[in-house]
Amino acid sequence: MPNEVVIGAAPLSLEDVVAVARGGAPVAIDAVARKNVVSARGHVEALADAPSPAYGVSTGFGALAVRSIPRERRADLQRSLIRSHAAGAGPAVETEVVRALMVLRLRTLATGHTGVRPETADALAAMLNAGITPVVPEYGSLGCSGDLAPLAAVALALMGEGEVTVRDGAVRPAGEALREAGLTPLTLAEKEGLALTNGTDGMLGMLAMAIHDLRGLLDVADLTAAMSVEAQLGTDRVFAEDLQALRPHPGQAESARRIREALAGSEIVASHRGPDCTRVQDAYSLRCSPQVHGAARDTLAHAELVAGRELVSAVDNPVVLADGRVESNGNFHGAPVGYVLDFLAIPVADVASIAERRTDRMLDVARSHGLPAFLADDPGVDSGHMIAQYTQAGVVSELKRLAAPSSVDSIPSSAMQEDHVSMGWSAARKLRRGVDGLRTVLAIELLTAARALDLRAPLRPAPVTAAVRDLVRTRVAGPGPDRHLAPEIAAVEELIASGAVLTAVEES
């Protein structure tokens, strides 16, 4: 079991979110957070007793906020809010997305700015720890007033309604799953419906996991670029530190360093150095890999900055301030997160695009500098990796479409009360598909480059690229007659996703 993630005084990290979402790490609320929750709840209960209406405490919501609700109907108000807002549609999103959403909402509840009761925060933590995950449909969030429908689906499960998945993946009625885990459904009190639904937690959770994945994938992209340069008899001189320093982008310097180190000690690269080499410069897809990958790294760094700010934010409306005021605000608008989700989709598409171009060069007998056509064992009888590049091209084309921004596509709702929205949830959903697509494209480049390096024998590749080639050979046989290629692509994708490829680099 992963280490417990403590919610409270210390800010959550991206790694904490991933540990809970993917690793099943348990959560606990610390004493500082509990004290803040109790204090804020006292302010809400004072407003509930006051004769003047307070938004979200004793009034309706959104365009219906003009109606004051009598005390005897306020439990009905909270229940109705959750039931009506749990209006999603479409397929269920992934369990890890829902768990990320849940732990981030719990983090905001623990700030003491939402006004929930301690038992409500405890109930959300208990559901996470029991491995009970509400079924959240894909569509229903406009990324403003929070990820409303997704968060409402979670709140509905806390109330013992709707459906959930349990640890073994089975879908169960929420009430039954709670009862079997020894948990009691909640009856929500004043303000709690809003507090459970008014956050950008879904889009932030997906951003956190995308950042985690892209950190590794950009390292893999530098490696596959190095293998492609080596396999195509490219030069390593363009990656020299003094040349890269002439354009001092930090991401570019990092990518060039990684490529340079991956090629160090290569007999293949050394074989075409010297006065007999007539090639002046390599194609852009080889020579400019650090510039493209580096720009992606710098974009990722900006996304990490935004995510870090969001992880210490209290997103709710209205919010409870330290002096007891309960104030309406617009912090639930998802623009800051939506923009970087959209921004990341651009380098995801472009890093995949340049990887596909490097792969295509290895397969073209007119440009591959002595490699057989399509790396086929018997070209004409065998097709080699011809159609693997088709798959890359199809994925890259899809990634280009996914790079079109969602966050400029506002659509008004709630009788024009909510007349500008972020569409951040949609941006997050397409970025997830983009990250998966990039992994596929890099897997095909890695598979192809490993085969091309084998075909350069007896010259030996660099220690780093040889170690990765040898790792691939534990799952995929070397050059030979055509085989069923799809399982080989999937096997290399799994090596990338598991971290085995980067481990091989570190240990070489």
Residue 146: left if φ>0, alpha if ψ -120 to 50, beta else—which one? Answer: left
- And the tokens for 280? 């002046």
Three-class SS of residue 26?
A: coil
Q: What gap in Å lies between CA 115 and CA 109, rounded to an integer?
A: 8
Nearest CA-CA partner of 71 in 195, 186, 194, 190: 190
Are the CB atoms for 359 and 392 separated by under 8 Å?
yes
Residues 6+ apart with CB under 8 A from 302: 340, 343
Are the CB atoms for 17 and 100 separated by under 8 Å?
yes
Are the CB atoms for 8 and 309 separated by under 8 Å?
no
Whole-number Cα distances in Å, 269 to 177, 232, 233, 235, 279: 60, 9, 6, 7, 13
The total number of residues shown for the chain amounts to 508
Q: Is 55 a catalytic residue?
A: yes
The answer to whether the peptide bond before residue 173 is cis (omega within 30 degrees of 0) is no
Q: What gap in Å lies between CA 165 and CA 161, rounded to an integer?
A: 13
Residue 419's φ and ψ, nearest 5 degrees, are -95, 0
Three-class SS of residue 45?
A: helix
Are the CB atoms for 465 and 262 separated by under 8 Å?
yes
Residue 230's φ and ψ, nearest 5 degrees, are -65, -45
Residues paired with 5 in a beta bridge? 27
Catalytic residues: 55
